[in-house]
Structure 1
Amino acid sequence: MHLYRPQESQPQDGNRHDWWRGAVIYQVYPRSFQDSRGDGIGDLKGVIERLDYIASLNVDAIWLSPFFTSPMKDFGYDISDYRDVDPMFGTLEDFDRLVEAAHARGLRVTIDQVLSHTSDQHPWFAESRASHDNPRADWYVWADPRPDGAPPTNWQAIFGGPAWQWDTRRCQYYLHNFLAEQPDLNFRNPEVVEAILGEVRFWLERGVDGFRLDAINFCTHGELNDNPPRADIAEGFIGVRPDNPYGYQRHLHDKTQPENLAFLERLRALLDEYPGTTSIGEVGDDDSLGVMAEYTRGGKRLHMAYSFDLLTENADPEYLLATVTEMEARIGDGWPCWALGNHDVTRLATRWGAEGDAAKQRLYLAFLLTQRGSICLYQGEELGLSEAPLAFEQLVDPAGITFWPSYKGRDGCRTPMPWRAEAPHGGFSSATPWLPVPKEHLALAVDRQEQHPDSLLKATRDFLAFRRRHPALIEGEIRHHPLHDEVMAFERHHAHERLLVALNFSAEPRELTVTKNIHLIEDAPAMVNASATHGGLALPPHGIAIVRLEDAPAARTGASR
């Protein structure tokens, strides 16, 4: 089949079909990246203008959040036309130019795909709701009410209230796991599966290198049985909070069904027709790590998956170590993708208590970039942006508006990128932007950090360049050591390279005793700040060590004396 992408516009590593394994993928939220038209909303031309900046970070790919035609009830995650660009973001021609320009800079392009549901303005849904016997009548999940008129089940929607919406045209309920304006497609219908695969193929033909698959475990539902209550309401996926009825249930029947595996295998077979393309599945579930493993093992489903397990408030090193080691124990030949932030959760610097704390910010960056797996880095994390403090009147996120004040929504992590500290709106736009640029972000603007050799932006670039030079950090095996005195230590090894990574999560200095020979790495970036001692390594508060090993270490830690 003819591919749109011309050979000369391929990334520099175009012959590596497994480029995604260990790749660092930079998430661009187009609405907040760069406005090229002066209307206060970022767009695809704006992304093109900033591709040199993205390439300078030494990342491997970009992930574009939704830019498709949409009523924007959920800011693009409610798609009314899978095959076109919403006019607020530009045109298909702009997208084609973006792909070509990214490839010319050695960057792969992955795009969001929202497959489990559409907008209620999609032509498919307009036809489906019109009658019980039209050609698309069974393309969405419709069900009759209970005898008393109540919804068919007790299922709850993530954005609040029942997951069923009454429709007077059909006198039936339809399922929506998110907003009522986001009806769920019926993946039990083979015609729906074929149609969705056709939408994916459209973008493969335009030259994309992969897809980030939104809420991919929501594609199929089970039997229409009530979900049982949860024993506890611990924080997890975006809707699992004490202020949200969604968190009161164990979601046994409304998502993560075995039938979803057959669809993922069909999707993978399609991607395999286009060598060098990839898939990243977002999964949110009580057992997200298990779903990640199941969805990526065996090479017949997703290439990789990520969950919300590291997107919580919990930055305790015991929890972090338990999460990554459990993943390693369960994933087999599958492949994880790790993220500490994205467009759905509070900014990392705020969530993990690192605002204004350079040492902590570097420690968390090192933790993320030294794990086995691929990495998603959200725009602004390289600047250390904090959560924007927005008033209720400034909110536009439906989740924030619904659950205020206990939950302030996702707007605080979606404010525009600050490019120039002295420019109006931080250089993002010449017009009032759709969300304000907080004054706290101006001091962290790109042009300010470009001028300081010890900035987080500089540290991010240097560490990513260092990572590229060391295959052990990209695709090497990993072996974790027990946590001691808040120091996390693990080995990465590939071919003849064996590295020891040690991360001090304590605000106190620590010493790491290593019984094997170690060698400091000459090209290590400045943020790798541990020093060698007679018996091992001295780690400053929140310090970082990466050294070469001649043999596997037996390591222990103790308070510095």
Structure 2
Amino acid sequence: MTVPSLRSSTRPSERAAADDWFHSAVVYQVYPRSFADSNGDGVGDLRGVIGKLDYLGHLGVDVVWLSPVYRSPHDDNGYDISDYRDIDPAFGTLEDLDELIAGLHARGMKLVMDLVVNHTSDEHPWFAESRASKDSPKRDWYWWRPARPGFEPGTPGAEPTNWESFFSGSTWKYDETTGEYYLHLFSTKQPDLNWENPEVREAVYSMMNWWLDRGVDGFRMDVINLISKDTALPDGAVAEGRVFGNGRPHFTCGPRIHEFLQEMHREVFAAREGAFLTVGEMPGVTVEEAVAFTDPARAEVDMVFQFEHMHLDHGGTKWQPAKLRLTELKASLGRWQAGLAERGWNSLYWNNHDQPRVVSRFGDESPEYRGLSATMLAGVLHLHRGTPYVYQGEELGMTNMPFAGIDDYRDIEVLNHYREATVAFGEDPAVVLASIAPLNRDNARTPVQWDAGPNAGFTSGTPWIGVNPNYTEINAAEQLARDDSVFAFYRRLIQLRHELPVIAHGDFTMLLPDDESVYAFTRSHEGTELLVLGNFTGREVQADVDPAWADAERIIANYPDARGLQLRPWEFTALVRSIPSSSLEAPRQRG
């Protein structure tokens, strides 16, 4: 598989002002464990990423977001960090990271690192010192509390609060060394840092500056809106049939979150020259909160990852999948487009390391429509107002993995849920496995499918997680050889964002909000109007928009021939026209 050595498309930094360069940019997420393995140990590594830089340059992306490569026990696949200033040997060395930065910069791309500072690993030296004694200088670096009054420490119900962990069970772990509990919103091996302590914040900012000095161009901040907790630590409401309470109102976008992020900006970014990117992953964030977080005048973060549209196919929980209603998807994304129209900025994504593959989720993974639904979904997403994110393999139309049994999974969230459901609640293992299959995180973590050779070209050894058996049909080598591939379509979408100001800077108007088949919207900017149409079904439908659009210029489509406004199964098309001068001053509906 060969690709051109350097990209030739115009970079957004050459077209946009320094303060909004990311409006024209596209970010590509690398989950290194599953990207490319250079040494045959079955685990992807930094040298594997370095070996694919020409591929990324050919795709045309502007920023590479690298999931954690720091030293870690890998309880949560690297999101449990034991040393923030070193590279885990599984991924390589600091020198490899330096080479990766240099290689990206030489190709006009930036590197964004994952910043995981809501919690550390329990094997981090900070936590080892914190748990050593109640008098430790770092005791207050984490959240330690005694047992609930009237309960024997370490017994059921003695936890300081009734909060439920994101990974099942209590958020509190009893530690026999000092007879107290520590808080962990996620795994028991991921104790939460206490951001109320200024020493913690200073240590985090020092680490961030260290990475920026090394050449890193910004950070994607993992669950960053959870760092401020209600210090009273009140119990959460308990839903019917549940053992634990919902503590999220007490640690989501907490009382000091804006203060902390503004301080971070002052201490890390304010005095630096250059174009950096800060992205806050924020579960549970509202539109109104996101405006405050991303308003440039407030100097907090450039954009947030929100999850509202990722919950639309959940029933009571993510393990109770429900069918997506297109009208609900349009209402959700349209609300975010409208809410951040005047201040702030959207991040646009279907996929990441925590989400199943979008072709299987919202599209059609059958051989007949897999490519068409992949490109339709890409086109609709990328032409919204915001910065698009491409997750590794998404540009190939990779699909969910047909896991055979629980032993094939690696994700701690899945394994904990399966154990709790089958052991604690006595559910049928087959039923639990079926509920896990559609939305589990391991769907996104199978190796990238580079070619039709052994292990999809990912490794010469035994991969750490199974390879999707459809790699002989879906792989990069086959798609790079075709102009009508999913990869070629993504490349064209990225190029259009670089070239057309209406895509990067135009306003947004949702059309057909009540149509359950067609996703339609317009963008307009300085006399140019863009119409985007996507058919979310496997049947032919009519787009009920202004008929005059049928004669407009098509700038991108996933069918080779045009049929006006009649859309075939999973068809996508984008049309552009000039706005009459008499209409330029007319008020426009947003959202």
TM, length-normalised to structure 1 = 0.88
Q: Which among 538, 541, 545 is matched to residue 566 of structure 2?
A: 538
Q: Which residue of 1 aligns with 2:542?
A: 510
Q: Which amino acid aligns with 1:226?
A: D
Q: For 1:219 and 1:304, locate their aligned partners in 2 and report how far apart those are by CA, in whole Å.
A: 17
Please identify which structure carries the higher helix content. 2
Q: What secondary structure is seen at the aligned counterpart in 2 of 1:138?
A: helix
Q: For 2:412 and 2:338, locate their aligned partners in 1 and report how far apart those are by CA, in whole Å.
A: 38
Q: For 1:417 and 1:516, locate their aligned partners in 2 and report how far apart those are by CA, in whole Å.
A: 43
Does the 8 A contact of 1:516 with 1:549 survive in 2?
no
Q: Which residue of 1 aligns with 2:224?
A: 216
Alignment of 1:469-488 (within 5 A): 469-483=499-513, 485=515, 486-488=517-519
Q: Which among 352, 373, 380 is matched to residue 360 of structure 1?
A: 373
Q: State whether structure 2 residue 390 is matched by structure 1 residue 377.
A: yes
Q: For 1:550 and 1:280, locate their aligned partners in 2 and report how far apart those are by CA, in whole Å.
A: 34
Q: For 1:394 and 1:532, locate their aligned partners in 2 and report how far apart those are by CA, in whole Å.
A: 45
Residue deviations 1:347-394 (CA, integer Å, cap 9, x gap): 111122421323222211111101111111110111111111223122
Does the 8 A contact of 1:481 with 1:489 survive in 2?
yes
Q: What secondary structure is seen at the aligned counterpart in 2 of 1:112?
A: strand
Q: Which amino acid aligns with 1:153?
A: T
Q: Which residue of 2 aligns with 1:452?
A: 482
Alignment of 1:261-340 (within 5 A): 261-269=258-266, 270-274=268-272, 275-285=274-284, 287-297=285-295, 298-312=297-311, 313=313, 315-331=324-340, 332-340=342-350
Residue deviations 1:506-531 (CA, integer Å, cap 9, x gap): 42231444266776336x23426684
Q: State whether structure 2 residue 253 is matched by structure 1 residue 256.
A: yes
- CA 1:71 to 1:252, structure 2 compared with 1: closer, same or farther past 3 Å? same
Q: For 1:245 and 1:467, locate their aligned partners in 2 and report how far apart those are by CA, in whole Å.
A: 49
Q: Which residue of 2 aligns with 1:400?
A: 414
Q: For 1:529 and 1:487, locate their aligned partners in 2 and report how far apart those are by CA, in whole Å.
A: 19
Give me the identity figure in percent.
37
Q: What secondary structure is seen at the aligned counterpart in 1 of 2:190?
A: coil
Gaps of 5+ in 1: 1-10, 232-241, 555-561
TM, length-normalised to structure 2 = 0.84
Q: What secondary structure is seen at the aligned counterpart in 1 of 2:101?
A: helix
Q: For 2:302 and 2:523, locate their aligned partners in 1 and report how far apart those are by CA, in whole Å.
A: 21
- Once the two structures are TM-superposed, the CA of residue 410 in structure 1 deviates from its matched residue by 2.1
Q: Which amino acid aligns with 1:69?
A: R
> Where in structure 1 do 4 or more consecutive aligned residues deviate above 6 Å?
none
Q: Which residue of 2 aligns with 1:491?
A: 522
Q: Which residue of 2 aligns with 1:558?
A: none
Q: State whether structure 2 residue 386 is matched by structure 1 residue 388.
A: no
Q: State whether structure 2 residue 227 is matched by structure 1 residue 225.
A: no
- CA 1:36 to 1:325, structure 2 compared with 1: closer, same or farther past 3 Å? same
Alignment of 1:404-423 (within 5 A): 404=418, 405=433, 406-407=435-436, 409-421=440-452, 423=453
Q: For 2:547 and 2:361, locate their aligned partners in 1 and report how far apart those are by CA, in whole Å.
A: 37
Q: For 1:84 and 1:442, locate their aligned partners in 2 and report how far apart those are by CA, in whole Å.
A: 37
Q: Which residue of 1 aligns with 2:210?
A: 202
- Once the two structures are TM-superposed, the CA of residue 92 in structure 1 deviates from its matched residue by 0.7
Q: For 1:52 and 1:265, locate their aligned partners in 2 and report how far apart those are by CA, in whole Å.
A: 37
- CA 1:335 to 1:528, structure 2 compared with 1: closer, same or farther past 3 Å? farther
Q: Which residue of 2 aligns with 1:557?
A: none
Does the 8 A contact of 2:556 with 2:573 survive in 1?
no
Does the 8 A contact of 2:184 with 2:191 survive in 1?
yes
Does the 8 A contact of 2:357 with 2:398 survive in 1?
yes
- Once the two structures are TM-superposed, the CA of residue 308 in structure 1 deviates from its matched residue by 1.8
- CA 1:511 to 1:161, structure 2 compared with 1: closer, same or farther past 3 Å? closer
Residue deviations 1:265-304 (CA, integer Å, cap 9, x gap): 112222233331111111111x543443332124421110
Q: How many residues align?
A: 526
Q: Which residue of 2 aligns with 1:234?
A: none
Q: For 1:229 and 1:216, locate their aligned partners in 2 and report how far apart those are by CA, in whole Å.
A: 25
Q: For 2:514 and 2:233, locate their aligned partners in 1 and report how far apart those are by CA, in whole Å.
A: 48
Does the 8 A contact of 2:164 with 2:247 survive in 1?
no
Q: State whether structure 2 residue 127 is matched by structure 1 residue 125.
A: yes
- CA 1:12 to 1:547, structure 2 compared with 1: closer, same or farther past 3 Å? closer
Q: For 2:300 and 2:86, locate their aligned partners in 1 and report how far apart those are by CA, in whole Å.
A: 27
Does the 8 A contact of 2:174 with 2:181 survive in 1?
yes
- Once the two structures are TM-superposed, the CA of residue 245 in structure 1 deviates from its matched residue by 6.4
Q: Which residue of 2 aligns with 1:467?
A: 497
Gaps of 5+ in 2: 1-10, 153-157, 314-322, 419-432, 587-591
Q: Which residue of 2 aligns with 1:70?
A: 72
Q: For 1:481 and 1:436, locate their aligned partners in 2 and report how far apart those are by CA, in whole Å.
A: 42
Does the 8 A contact of 1:519 with 1:548 survive in 2?
no
Q: For 2:325 and 2:561, locate their aligned partners in 1 and report how far apart those are by CA, in whole Å.
A: 21
- Once the two structures are TM-superposed, the CA of residue 99 in structure 1 deviates from its matched residue by 0.6
Residue deviations 1:466-502 (CA, integer Å, cap 9, x gap): 3322121122221222425432322212233221222
